[in-house]
Structure formats: C-alpha cells, structure tokens
Amino acid sequence: MNENANDRKYLFGGAISCSQADGGFRDGGKGISTQDLRFLDSSWTPEEIEEKHQNDPFSLSEFQTALKDPSTDYYPFRRGIDFYHNYKEDLTLMAELGLEIFRTSICWSRIFPNGDDLYPNEEGIQYYVDLFTECKNHGMKVFATMIHYDIPVNLVTKYGGWKNRKMIKFFEKYVTVLFERLGHLVDYWLPFNEINAAKFSPWDGVCLIPGNEENMDQEIFQCLHHQFLCSARAVQIGRALDPGKPVGGMIARFTTYAATCKPEDNIQAIQDDQYSNWFYLDVLAKGYYPEYMQRYFDSINVKVKFEEGDEQLLLDGTVDFISFSYYFSQVSTNVEGWEKTAGNLIIGKKNPHLKASEWGWQIDPIGLRITLNQVYDRYHLPLIVAENGLGAYDKVTEDQKIHDDYRIAYLREHINQMNEAVKDGVNLIAYTMWGIIDIVSCGPLTMDKRYGVIYVDLDNGGKGTGTRLRKDSFYWYQKCIQNNGKKLD
C-alpha cells in the first residue's frame, strides 16, 4: 500500500484483429477461415446493412455461396486493409504514435490452413515471427489473441466446428505451435476474444448458423464448454512451454445498471450481469460453473455435457489476467416497452442520461471506471482493457486532414476514468484502444464505421488508394502517451 495512487502506470496501446485488418486471404499458404465467408453488398444503404447484419450476420445460403466463391468482391474480410502486406509501414506509424503495446490476433488458418493438417504452414509461422519481431524492434509489447472469432472453415464443414470435442485436440496442436515458435516474441496471450460472443453472435463466437440448429441454446453452450476447456488447456500448455507468460480471459463487457431503484429492476440487473458477463469470467477465472447458472440453464432447456476430467481441467487452467472490451452501458428492467438501442453485439435498453454514437451505442466513460472496479473486486487479477473506442463516420478535408474532435473527447473521457479506477486501487496493466488504425468493422462489415487514429483511404467496397493519414486524434493520443495519460487537454 506504499505506492502513491497517482504514480501507477499502465501501458497505452492499440488493437486490431487479423480478419478485419490483414487481407491477403490466400497468400502465404493461408486456408479459408470462417470470417472470410461473411458477405457485404457495398451498394446497401446503412439501414439495409443494419437490418441484415445487426441481429445475426449470417445465413446458411450465404455460407454455401461464399464457400464456392473465390473472389474478394463481396467479402470485406478477405480484403481487410491489406495489413498483411503493409504491416511494416503501419507499425512505423504506430511507433511514431508511441504505442507501448500492440494487440492483434493470429489467424489459425495461416498456421494450419485446414485446422487438421499434419504439419504447420511454415510461411504462416514466419509471417508472425516477422510481424512480432517488427513490434519488438519498435519497442512495443505484443498482446496476441489466438482466436478472434475466425477458425479454419474446414473444421466446420468436416467436423461441425465447436460442437465437436475433437476441436480440443486440434486447438491443442495449434497453441502448442504458437507457444513453441512465437512464445519468445509474445508478452500476453489470450486464447479467445470475447468468449461470451458465443451467445450473442453465434457465427462469430462458435461458428453456428442461426436457424440451422434444432436447439440453438443447447448447441451454443456445448460449444462454449469446449471453448472453456480449450482455454484451460492453453493455460496449461503455456505454463509448460512458455512459463511465466500470462494467459488471460476476455469477455465483451455488457455493463448494466438497474433502470430504477425498484427491487424488480435491481434483481433483473443482477441476473443480466450474471448471465451475460459473470458466468463467462467465473468459469475462466474461478474454474467452475457458478451455482446461479443452473436456474438459467433449466429455463432455456440446456444441459451441458461434461466428461470425466472436465471439472478438474477447468480448475487447473484458470487464467492469469482478465481483459474485456468496453464500448457502452445499458439498463436492466422488466418494464414492458422500455426504449431500446443498439450496443456491441446486442440490442440493449436505453439510459436517458447518456448520449450515443451514430450507431446508437451509449457512451458512458464512468461506466468504464465502474466496470474496472467491479471486475477487479470480484477476481483480484490484473486487468487489460482490450478494446475501447468510438466508431464514427470521418470526413477528409480538401487538405487531407481529419478533424475528429468527437473521438478525442471520447478517448479523453475514458482515459480519465481509467485513471480514476487506478486511483481506486485497480491493477490495470494496459489499455489497447480499438482499432488503432481503421479496419473493416465487425458487425456491419463496413469501412465507413471507423475507429482509428490512423485513417485508411478505402471504402465499403474496398475501393480507394489505401493511403494512411494521421487524424487529429493521432496527435492527441501521441501526446497522451508522452504524458503517461496525465494532463489530458
């Protein structure tokens, strides 16, 4: 307790994911991944996109068509921002920004193109050796996600994907290669991006197509059980092969307040929190299924099948740190007809005290301080804010400037609240702002929902020069990092 609360320091960083940034979808021996199949017609209006993508981004016919289509035209994730070929220039810009930690994901289908291959693809491994070495040369720590939604599509078509327990063996082989070949270059490991996406965005989370399963909830939670076991195995394999290197867990954090002080709203808030957030972190960090879930499983007719040894494995493989994405908060109430609004992965209930982004996500910087306190109180593990940022339409002026004061305001307020949480005693290791450079957005699949402090000249159809420009927020974040996040004007 001797350290002055104002002296504590966390790392400032930026985050992207391979499917949203890389492109090069058949280069370097890469196999097809599940995210390569997601479809966007760039002539759709924002309303059409919202209607088609908001609730669930994928249908069986889209899946079957995409499997046969080798082009990149309708598949934004096949193009990304061409980070695969451009990473050296992009990392140079990020170094100029002063980034201390860089988060990206490793694409399983670059390492094992089909997921069940006998040997790994050396070209894929070399790409990550080069990428992470470049980060190190720029003095950045590397925060690597092993699966940010995408897996080799062959594992879905041949084995049924996460429904099949065989996935654990394929995953073990994959992560063994990662720890053995990349461990010396990675500082923080994360087996799964937002493990609770399984429930809220099934194709992303567990590669299930809505409408294609008899009992969707049963399948979701069985798939998820296999992912929990994989996470525990990653922790164990990491301890054996890359000892001392933290392996973490992550959720998309749905911060929720009771809409009123009515007891009914408060019990609703507790349950929403348990079923959407705590369940996932409790399994990852405490190592067992919490008691409150039985009631929920009964209510949706789910019986998760455990095999002998599963309980022990979960207990033995608890994570070393917790991370989460934080974009918005919502309210909980069972009052009929309460106004709704969109949020990351879900449609939430509206809080009359908050403003929202152009996509309806309610902006709540104090909610980040609340979240950090809640998560730290519950687990007392180091925390990483793995994603946080503002998706907005940006305009380029004639002299090639982007005056994104709205993004600066968003970042300033959220960083201020993180500083408050650190003073509250929270052990925060790092903040990796999402997406540090403009990338293809994950929900709508568009380029024009932009998060970056670096602008990329590409449109929703992948047209443009690909030129990178520094936004006003670039210079602001650069100064913020220089000042250690203090004195933010």
Q: Which residues are catalytic?
A: 194, 387
Question: Least distance to ligand BG6 from the beta carbon of 447, Å?
Answer: 11
Residue 86 or 104: which CB sits closer to ligand BG6?
104
Closest separation in Å from C-beta 264 to ligand BG6: 30
Between 314 and 322, whose beta carbon lies closer to ligand BG6? 322
Question: What's the min distance (Å) between Cβ of 108 and ligand BG6?
Answer: 16
Residue (148 or 258) nearer to ligand BG6, CB: 148
User: Least separation, in Å, of the C-beta of 3 and ligand BG6?
Assistant: 32
| Residue 341 token pair | 């609004």
CB 100 to ligand BG6: min, Å:
21
Which of 20, 143, 36, 88 lies closest to 468 in space, CA to CA? 88
Q: What is the largest CA-CA distance in the chain?
A: 65
Residue with Cβ nearer ligand BG6 (35 or 154): 35
- Output the DSSP codes for 126-169: HHHHHHHHHHHHTT-EEEEEEESS--BTHHHHHH-GGGSTHHHH
Which amino acid makes up residue 317? G
Of the pair 321, 326, the CB lying nearest ligand BG6 is at 326
Q: Do the beta carbons of residue 194 and residue 239 sit within 8 Å?
A: no
**Cβ of residue 276: shortest distance to ligand BG6, in angstroms?**
13
Q: How far is the CB of 418 from ligand BG6 (least distance, A)?
A: 18
Which stretches of the chain bind ligand BG6, using CB under 6 A? 17, 20, 193-194, 252, 325, 344-345, 387, 391, 434, 441-443, 449
Q: What single DSSP character describes residue 247? A: B
Q: Which is nearer to ligand BG6, 20 or 222 (by Cβ)?
A: 20
| Partners of 356 in beta bridges | 362
Task: Please say which residue, 238 or 391, places its beta carbon nearer to ligand BG6.
Answer: 391
- In angstroms, give the least distance from the CB of 327 to ligand BG6: 7
Cβ-based nearer residue to ligand BG6, 78 or 422: 78
Of 82, 346, 313, the closest CA to residue 205 belongs to 346
Minimum distance from CB of 99 to ligand BG6 (Å)? 18
Q: Which two tokens stand for residue 1?
A: 């307790």
Nearer to ligand BG6, 417 or 441 (CB): 441
Closer by beta carbon to ligand BG6, 31 or else 443: 443
Q: What is the DSSP string of 352-367?
A: TT-EE-TT-PEE-HHH
Per DSSP (E only), the strands in 305-413 are 321-325, 329-332, 340-343, 346-349, 355-356, 362-363, 383-387
Q: How far is the CB of 424 from ligand BG6 (least distance, A)?
A: 25
| Angle (nearest 5°) at CA 101 between 95 and 106 | 105
- d(C-alpha 394, C-alpha 404), whole Å: 7
